[in-house]
Amino acid sequence: MSLPDQMQAIEASEPGGPDVLSLTTLPRPEPGPGEALIKVTAAGINGPDLVQRRGHYPPPKGASPLLGLEVSGEVVATGSEQSLWSVGDKVCALTNGGGYAQYVSVDATHCLPIPEGIPEIDAAGLPETYFTVWSNVFHGHEIPENGLFLVHGGSGGIGSCAIQLGKAMGLRVFTTAESPEACTFCEELGADRAINFQEEDFVEIVREAGGADIVLDIIGGDYIARNIKASRHDARLISLAFNKGSKIEINLMPMMLKRLTLTGSTLRSRPDGFKSAVASELRDTVWPIFAAGKLRAVTYRTLPLEEAAEGHRLMESGNHRGKILLLP
């Protein structure tokens, strides 16, 4: 297959708002040892992309400086030392960057087949969220039978994934959302209870239901103390982002008395071997749930690659339901 030497990609001219993103022409990457070169069909927009654009989430050493942590597409070339994929295979993949482009090279062990029943474009919105939720909530942990899983921000990309995956793994799922419409959306995804945080107190509602066994939080700020109050004994509280801030003053005595575990992580900086292990678990445990029709991709909007800035504005507005995808 003859491949072009150049490709179109989105570049950030400097740290700043969405307007720093623009379409440019760059050399096409070559797959290194153990890598697959993917011709991108679609790329997902994620919260870390916004943070990197603002200058606060630098790529790991050796990673592409371009934005984009997940893609779907076709394998068009492979490097040495990999036998998982062949030219022509359709995959979705977790990247260390570089997804906002026509081509991206990725670790072959971080690729997954397009799940059965999921369109190739929509599959671009799966890797970052499913790797993130699985690695934080399920990987290496015992899940309490019929436990209560509280998901904040249920109508976004992480939230829509967590609601579905929590239900599929046998948890009761409560979630917070910003409007009646968003709550309806979350309940359609399978949430047992969607809480309109503008009008209801999630702490009171969750405590009345027996308290949360697991909390997945992207809000931070005053939600951290409220999460502790809403949790039952031996609960796990997982922070993935701090939209209301990460610096707070808090009384940690309830954490000790309830024997709580407060944890969090960023996925991009985890070792490649860890991501490979998560990919294997997703393929064996979660991808068959897609095939059974019990999980679905949730795409809110697709935009041409050159409208990446508009995609970032939409993401920052919070008015989306599920994933925003770019089409090169």
Q: Which pLDDT tens digit goes with each residue over 117-147?
A: 999 999 999 999 999 999 999 999 999 999 9
Give the model confidence (pLDDT) of 146-158 as tens digits. Answer: 999 999 999 999 9
Nearest to 304 by CA among 8, 38, 39: 8
pLDDT > 90 in the chain, percent: 94
Q: Say what the pLDDT of residue 229 is.
A: 98
Q: Is the dihedral of CA 62, 108, 268, 57 positive or negative?
A: positive
Domain extent listing, the chain = 6-126+268-327, 131-264
The closest alpha carbon to 322, from 131, 153, 74, belongs to 153
Pairing of strands 261-264, 231-239: parallel
Collapsing DSSP to helix, strand or coil, 133 comes out as helix
The pLDDT tens digits of the residues spanning 215-242 come to: 999 999 999 999 999 999 999 999 999 9
Question: What is the pTM for the complete model shown?
Answer: 0.95
What would be the CATH architecture of the domain defined by 131-264? 3-Layer(aba) Sandwich (3.40)
Contact 27, 8 (CB under 8 A): no
Q: Which residues contact 273 (CB under 8 A, 6 or more apart)?
A: none
Assigned CATH class of 6-126+268-327 = alpha beta
* Tokens at 238, concatenated: 């997982």
Task: Quote the tokens at residue 272.
Answer: 């490649």
Structure tokens, 248: 């707070």
Backbone angles phi, psi at 110, to 5 degrees: -100, 10
- Where residue 16 falls (left for φ over 0; alpha for ψ -120 to 50; beta otherwise) is left
Q: How many residues does the chain have?
A: 328
Using only C-alpha atoms, what is the Rg of the chain?
A: 20
Q: What's the first-to-final CA gap in the chain, in angstroms?
A: 19
Residues 6+ apart with CB under 8 A from 310: 18, 303
- What's the half-sphere exposure (Cβ side, CA atoms, 13 Å) at 99? 31
pLDDT of residue 318: 82
What 3-state DSSP class applies to 298?
coil
HSE, CB side, 13 Å, CA atoms: give it for residue 107. Answer: 18
Q: Which helix (H) or strand (E) holds 175?
A: strand 172-177
Q: Are 96 and 61 in contact (CB under 8 A)?
A: no
**Parallel, antiparallel, or unpaired: how do β-strands 172-177 and 193-196 relate?**
parallel
Of 287, 295, 283, the residue nearest 115 (C-alpha): 287
Q: Are 263 and 237 in contact (CB under 8 A)?
A: yes
Q: Report the C-alpha gap between 111 and 129 in whole angstroms.
A: 14
- What DSSP character marks residue 29? P
Neighbouring C-beta atoms of residue 220, cutoff 10 Å? 20
Q: Tell me what pLDDT residue 1 has.
A: 65
Structure tokens at 269: 């900086």
Sequential pLDDT tens for the chain (328 residues): 689 999 999 999 999 999 999 999 999 999 999 999 999 999 999 999 999 999 998 998 889 999 999 999 999 999 999 989 999 999 999 999 999 999 999 999 999 999 999 999 999 999 999 999 999 999 999 999 999 999 999 999 999 999 999 999 999 999 999 999 999 999 999 999 999 999 999 999 999 999 999 999 999 999 999 999 999 999 999 999 998 999 999 999 999 999 999 999 999 989 999 999 999 999 999 999 999 999 999 999 999 999 999 999 999 998 889 999 999 9
DSSP state of 101: B
Cα(313)–Cα(327) distance, rounded to whole angstroms?
17
Residue position matching structure tokens 């943070």 = 51
